[in-house]
């Protein structure tokens, strides 16, 4: 049996299930209670679980992220919601110098079983202070796990798995996915958060992506298929640690790679993946690795400029054609 639901409903169901299973789990963040969440993810949870477990916080990301770290150290299983990735920078000291380092600095006497959720990405005309994709910054930090669920199953299942992790886990939810609807199994549950997924089999080139760009990349693969090109689409799912084994195996098979990353190209996650391909699969390549990333500008507000600034299907198709046209 399957249920029809949206991505936001899948995340909400995951939070509700976790709180029902484990009374140590609680949610805290700006507007998560009475307002129901900035993206309506937590709508109805206050009425279901009460104000002691659905906690509206002051507008102080550093303050309530620090409180979440303290609660995790005290044996709780907090879910901290940071409204957008841009605002998470106000809590970066707590995440980098606190949560990510405590196990190491305490000689493994302490660990921080904390989950931090945040919206990321552009496409809703929220302008530069609400629209960037900074998950690659966090993937740079040792001591944390970074996840990017793109499907309903991952939105539903990654949270429970993350809550079992003894160390901090950051979950990045692309804003353009919240309204995405589909069918999901009634018994859908925890998923493996250590492996990338092959979302489409192919033999001519590998398209490597994650999060909100997955569906654009699948759209590009469909367009290429009409031209006789079968692209393999890899959904990274975990950005730290990266599942090298899966994407390297794909590249060794197809001998060509395009990386689609909504972050900026300079010093990016796409650059890291490209580097690992060059280090480990250089002699398997028939063409240089191509990258499709956001323009090197703050995300614009006007819709036509916002769309132009972030990866879209035509740019992915063009990059694929470029790598296919390169001389072997």
Those residues whose C-beta lies under 8 Å from the C-beta of residue 9, and which sit 6 or more positions away, are: none
Q: Does 204 qualify as catalytic in the annotation?
A: no
How many whole angstroms separate alpha carbon 8 and alpha carbon 278?
Answer: 37
Is residue 274 a contact partner of residue 289, using CB atoms and an 8 Å limit? yes
Is residue 232 a contact partner of residue 198, using CB atoms and an 8 Å limit? yes
The one-character DSSP state at 177 is G
Those residues whose C-beta lies under 8 Å from the C-beta of residue 284, and which sit 6 or more positions away, are: 251, 252, 255
Name the E strands within 23-100.
25-29, 54-56, 77-84
How many whole angstroms separate alpha carbon 309 and alpha carbon 299?
Answer: 7
Q: Kindly name the residue from 9, 30, 81, 130 that is annotated as catalytic.
A: 130
How many whole angstroms separate alpha carbon 281 and alpha carbon 279?
Answer: 6
Question: Residue 54 corresponds to which tokens in the numbers above?
Answer: 């659905």
The one-character DSSP state at 151 is S
Q: Does 132 qualify as catalytic in the annotation?
A: no
Q: Kindly name the residue from 9, 30, 61, 290 that is annotated as catalytic.
A: 61
Catalytic residues: 61, 130
């Amino acid at each position: 049996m399957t249920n029809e639901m949206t991505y936001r409903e899948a995340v909400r169901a995951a939070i509700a299930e976790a709180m029902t299973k484990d009374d140590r789990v609680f949610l805290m963040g700006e507007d998560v209670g009475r307002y129901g969440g900035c993206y309506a993810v937590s709508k109805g949870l206050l009425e279901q679980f009460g104000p002691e477990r659905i906690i509206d916080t002051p507008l102080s990301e550093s303050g309530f992220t620090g409180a979440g770290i303290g609660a995790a150290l005290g044996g709780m299983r907090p879910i901290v919601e940071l409204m957008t990735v841009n605002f998470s920078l106000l809590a970066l000291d707590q995440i980098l110098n606190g949560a990510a380092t405590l196990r190491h600095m305490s000689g493994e006497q302490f660990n921080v079983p904390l989950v931090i959720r945040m919206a990321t990405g552009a496409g809703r005309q929220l302008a530069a202070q609400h629209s960037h994709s900074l998950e690659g910054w966090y993937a740079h930090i040792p001591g944390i796990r970074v996840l990017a669920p793109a499907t309903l199953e991952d939105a539903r299942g990654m949270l429970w798995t993350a809550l079992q992790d003894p160390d901090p886990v950051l979950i990045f939810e692309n804003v353009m996915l919240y309204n995405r609807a589909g069918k999901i199994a009634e018994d859908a549950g925890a998923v493996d958060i250590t492996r990338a997924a092959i979302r489409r089999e192919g033999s001519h080139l590998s398209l490597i992506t994650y999060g909100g760009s997955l569906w654009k990349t699948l759209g590009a693969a469909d367009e290429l298929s009409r031209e006789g090109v079968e692209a393999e689409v890899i959904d990274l799912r975990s950005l730290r640690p990266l599942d090298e084994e899966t994407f390297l195996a794909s590249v060794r098979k197809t001998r060509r790679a395009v990386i689609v990353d909504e972050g900026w190209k300079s010093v990016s996650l796409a650059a890291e993946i490209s580097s690992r391909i060059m280090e480990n699969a250089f002699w398997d390549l028939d063409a240089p690795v191509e990258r499709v990333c956001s323009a090197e500008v703050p995300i614009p507000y006007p819709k036509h400029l916002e769309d132009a600034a972030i990866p879209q299907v035509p740019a992915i198709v063009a990059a694929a054609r470029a790598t296919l046209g390169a001389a072997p």
